[in-house]
Structure 1
Amino acid sequence: MVLKTGAAIVAGLILAGCAARFSPVPQATNFPASQQVKLQAASHWGTIAGHIEKNMLAELKKNPPRPLFINEAPNPSPFQRALNTQLITSLVNDGYTVSKSAAGSLKIDLDVQAVTFSADRPQYRYHGEHGALAAGVFVLSEIEPPLLLAAAAGVGAQDAYSWFNDQFAPGATPRTELIITVSVSDQYRYFARNTSAYYVTDSDRVLYGIIDKEPELPQLSKTYQLRGER
């Protein structure tokens, strides 16, 4: 352990000494590690509606109470339609007045922007994977010993691996994300505004109003014009 630590320090000093002091452009770096939930079921949509309501009402309490009106987008996707419906249900069940008319009400706008990134985005989880030592015996590698012993003692090696990783959605990082912005306003000003981002299962893109173009078929025939004597 001491040898590994010393080697890491030496390697860091060498890299630091080789780093350029000046550069014509900023160097690309990673953001600190963070987590973002992945939408995989209709019940997750209800969770989003509850989260939207909680954040929105926290801001609206700073102002005199007024009826609320959900401004539905034209031609909503299944996700947008469900989100509007669930938000109305949550507000009514919590005792708030939801108007069917915009007159005299605060307008709630839900803007849903779908963003598609490149495929095969990296998926980083805990460093280390499990491996089978024998039938029914597994090991977690590259995990701090005290943490490993505590987990293994409580739930067993295989269950410990699942416990470490069950917070992560299966599969590769989705290339599809949703940016949801909620605005509460009247004709004069905004009263509340919040933006959140979520991953979306790529196979469910159509539920969020994302229609992929059909691939162009290769041209199987070609027309030639013959020129010659008549």
Structure 2
Amino acid sequence: MVLKTAAAIGAGLVVAASVAGCAARYTPTPLATNFPVSKQPKLQAAEHWAVIAGHLEKQLKEALAKQPPRPLYIADAAPATPFQRALTAQLITALVNDGYTVSRTAPGSLKVELDMQAVTFSANRPQYRYHGEHAALASGVWVLSEIDLPPLAVVAAGVGAYDSYNWFNDQFAPGATPRTEIILTISVTDQYRYLARNSSAYYVADSDRPLYGIVDVEPEAPKLTRMFKVRGDM
């Protein structure tokens, strides 16, 4: 196994060197490359919205610590989606429970605005995860091999009746990569300037698009009538 691995590495280096030697030095456009691996949460429950509200409140707390204490006014989006209504209510609850004064009117208060932008990408987006085969070695002992995350060539764990394969992969949301995402921006302003601002992005389950105000337009039915041009005498 060690010899095969060394041979494969050596062959890969030779191929890489050959490809590098043949690469074009000049191109009319930049070469398309992937970003480094990152993770983005997928919203699938109202509890996840509460988690977002708590995260936003924490960000506000850090930003507002640099400002003189003033009441806060949470501006309502109009028209608000079910997600925006719930998030606004959860944010107000988090702020009040943390000791902030949340005003029901705007005058004399710092204005907190939540902006949501929904974006739809193409369907069948790729989902890259760890790959490998899992098998039971003994009761409660599983092995997952061929993981493309060095140095984890083989992962084996005995955790009682717990499935270590599922444990290793349960961080990933099930199903394909959603084509729907939202960009959520929170801003704190007075009448003259922005005092704090932060943006974050989340995946949204495609089946939950209406909760975020995304209305899919039904394709038009094909027309069943035809126009004929009549020639000659009538």
TM-score computed with the length of structure 1 as normaliser: 0.91
Q: Give the structure 2 partner of residue 142 of structure 1.
A: 146
Q: 1:27 aligns with which of 16, 22, 31?
A: 31
Q: CA RMSD in A?
A: 2.4
Select the structure with the greater relative contact order (CA < 8 A; seq sep ≥ 6): 1
Higher helix content, 1 or 2: 1
5+ residue gaps in structure 1?
Answer: none
Distance in 1, Cα, partners of 2:53 & 2:151: 41
Q: Deviations over 1:158-212 (max 9, x none)?
A: 8121111100000100000000000000111111100000000001000000000
Give 1:128 shift: 2.4
Q: 1:211 aligns with which of 205, 209, 215?
A: 215
Give the number of aligned pairs: 228
What is the DSSP-based 3-state SS (H/G/I as helix, E as strand, rest coil) of the residue aligned with 1:193? strand
Mapped pair 1:192 → 2:196: yes
Q: Give the structure 2 partner of residue 81 of structure 1.
A: 85
Flag the 1:148–1:163 CA change in 2: closer, same or farther, 3 A: farther
Give 1:155 shift: 5.3
Give 1:145 shift: 7.8
Distance in 2, Cα, partners of 1:183 & 1:29: 33
Q: Deviations over 1:90-146 (max 9, x none)?
A: 111111000000000000010000000000000000132436899x99652303686
Give 1:50 shift: 0.4
Give 1:71 shift: 0.6
Q: Deviations over 1:70-100 (max 9, x none)?
A: 0111110000000000000111111100000
What is the DSSP-based 3-state SS (H/G/I as helix, E as strand, rest coil) of the residue aligned with 2:39? coil
Distance in 1, Cα, partners of 2:134 & 2:110: 53
Mapped pair 1:37 → 2:41: yes
5+ residue gaps in structure 2?
Answer: none
**Aligned-pair identity (%):** 64
Flag the 1:165–1:89 CA change in 2: closer, same or farther, 3 A: same
Q: Give the structure 1 partner of residue 131 of structure 2.
A: 127
Q: 2:16 aligns with which of 12, 19, 22?
A: 12
Letter in 1 for 2:26: F
TM-score computed with the length of structure 2 as normaliser: 0.89
Structure 1 stretches of 4+ moved >4 Å: 131-134, 136-139, 144-147, 225-228
Q: Give the structure 2 partner of residue 53 of structure 1.
A: 57
Mapped pair 1:153 → 2:155: no
Distance in 1, Cα, partners of 2:129 & 2:11: 25
Q: Which moved more, 1:174-183 or 1:122-131?
A: 122-131
Mapped pair 1:3 → 2:13: no
